[in-house]
Structure 1
Amino acid sequence: MADAGGAPVRAEDPSAPRRQDDESFADFAYRILCDELIVLDIKPGEPLNDDVISRRLGVGRTPIREAMKRLESDHLVVAYPRRGTFAAGVDITDLAEISEIRQLLEPAAAARAARHASPQLRSELRDFARDVGQLLPGMQSQQDLMRLDMRVHRMIYRATGSRHLEDVLIRYDNLATRIWSLVLEKLPPVSEHIAQHIELLEHIAAGDSEAAARLTSRHVTDFENHIRAVL
């Protein structure tokens, strides 16, 4: 049975995701639930029960509730008094507004990353660009491709060196990816779209802020155009 505090409980599913060594129980629950909500493994409108999630993840109810509060502030879940907590809906009409905000912020973030990334991060960016090129040919699952896309974006956001900017960018990328996930089955393979990141990562690593901003702007525009093409 789930513990009311932060102590772990036994997960019923032996294949349950694993907590990283440096991760709190609340951060672990947030990471897993956030991913499931973004790629729609948890469907819009689906109820989220503390006890069920606690047993599934092997985490006490208190960390689950902390994670739920963060997810609510991210607009990924909605809590109703006396009714419970549910996965937030995905509204296609939000696409234009989300794309407009991302078109303002994402190129600026890529340019900032190109200017401010540490030598260690530049090395990581080069290595990751190579990894993306090697991973893409063998990836068949659209959801796995979207998770790779998210990993690229998270690395670029981290390279900006601004925690505030990183938090805002992650929130809007999450919302954009949920819209993408809603129509994913209607889309052609997104590997070509994700392959654009290889050149982008290389430009950021090289410190070319103008090229990084230009490629990012094109990437955001392509994202919106892909979605609109299947609506």
Structure 2
Amino acid sequence: MSVSTVAGQGDGTLADQAYRSISDRLVTLQIRPGEPVNDERIAAELGFGRTPVREALKRLEHERLIVAYPRRGTFATEVQIADLGHISEVRKQLEPLAAGLAAERAGEGERAGLDRLLAQLADASDGDTDLIRLDMTVHRAIYAAARNPYLEDTLIRYDNLATRIWCLFLDRLPGLAGHVHEHRHLLRAIIDGDAEKAAALATGHVEGFEAAIRSVI
């Protein structure tokens, strides 16, 4: 199964491309919590100049994925379990809002895209290395279909933070595919235009995510 880059669609500016690449590494823990983030090394790896990478790092610092200390350097933020409750408080309010709006506002092309994601979900299994990226892709498609750019930007930030926690405990969480497959019912409700059902399913998904993490900590 092939899943498109989760951090955004299209190329955008070099700073946008750098942001998406570094964000993906941070969220999926290719850059581990507490690990140094060196702009020169990342620029060389990505084939970019240091200026777009530095612009990307400023954005990532605002999104709490990295932290910069004077005279010490820049590091991936540590994952604090207390963050789970704070993140869930926000997502319990905004994920249902986005799902309901998506059901009401999604256009024909967006619903067709969600239908294609349904087909990808049907083929997903626990052995699939793209499961986490598929989960993120589904979330981003729903946020975009809500047609509120401020809500979309906010939810991407919080989904990144939540996914980072998920990746940290991934080896202790059974049934990853089952968690991802929950999105099938949510996508179907959105495609069918059932805003109330979509909002309820989104609430249950966030609550289930939090409960799963708390069960292994």
Q: Give the TM-score range, shorter chain.
A: over 0.9
The residue that corresponds to 1:84 in the other structure is 73
Which structure 1 residue ranges, 5 or more long, are not aligned?
1-19
Q: Tell me the CA shift for residue 82 of structure 1.
A: 1.7
For the 8 Å contact 2:60–2:66, the answer to whether it is kept is: yes
Describe the superposition over 1:156-199 as per-residue Cα deviations: whole angstroms up to 9, x where unpaired.
Answer: 00000000000110111111111111111111131001101111
Larger relative contact order, structure 1 or 2 (CA cutoff 8 Å, min sep 6): 2
Q: Aligned partners of 1:50, 1:223: CA distance in 2, in Å?
A: 33
Q: Tell me the CA shift for residue 21 of structure 1.
A: 6.7
Q: Aligned partners of 1:214, 1:149: CA distance in 2, in Å?
A: 18
Please tell me the root mean square deviation across aligned C-alpha atoms, in Å.
Answer: 1.4
Letter of the 2:48 counterpart: V
Letter of the 1:149 counterpart: D
Within the candidate set 140, 160, 167, 2:127 is matched to 140
Larger radius of gyration: 1
Number of equivalenced pairs: 209
SS of 2:100's partner is helix
The residue that corresponds to 1:213 in the other structure is 199
For the 8 Å contact 1:39–1:177, the answer to whether it is kept is: yes
Describe the superposition over 1:187-224 as per-residue Cα deviations: whole angstroms up to 9, x where unpaired.
Answer: 11310011011111111011100110111111111101
The residue that corresponds to 1:10 in the other structure is none
Matches within 5 A, 1:32-181: 32-134=21-123, 136-137=124-125, 140-141=127-128, 144-181=130-167
The residue that corresponds to 1:9 in the other structure is none
SS of 2:154's partner is helix
Letter of the 1:55 counterpart: A
Letter of the 2:127 counterpart: Q
**TM-score, normalising length from structure 2?**
0.92
Describe the superposition over 1:107-163 as per-residue Cα deviations: whole angstroms up to 9, x where unpaired.
Answer: 1110011001111111111121122212x03x515x631111111100000000000
The residue that corresponds to 2:215 in the other structure is 229
For the 8 Å contact 1:130–1:198, the answer to whether it is kept is: no
For the 8 Å contact 1:44–1:88, the answer to whether it is kept is: yes
Aligned-pair identity (%): 52
**Is 1:23 aligned to 2:9, yes or no?**
no
CA pair 189-164 structure 1, distance change in 2 beyond 3 A = same
Which structure 2 residue ranges, 5 or more long, are not aligned?
1-8
Q: Aligned partners of 2:98, 2:40: CA distance in 1, in Å?
A: 39
Q: Aligned partners of 1:196, 1:112: CA distance in 2, in Å?
A: 19
Instruction: Extract structure 1 runs of 4+ deviating beyond 3 A.
Output: none
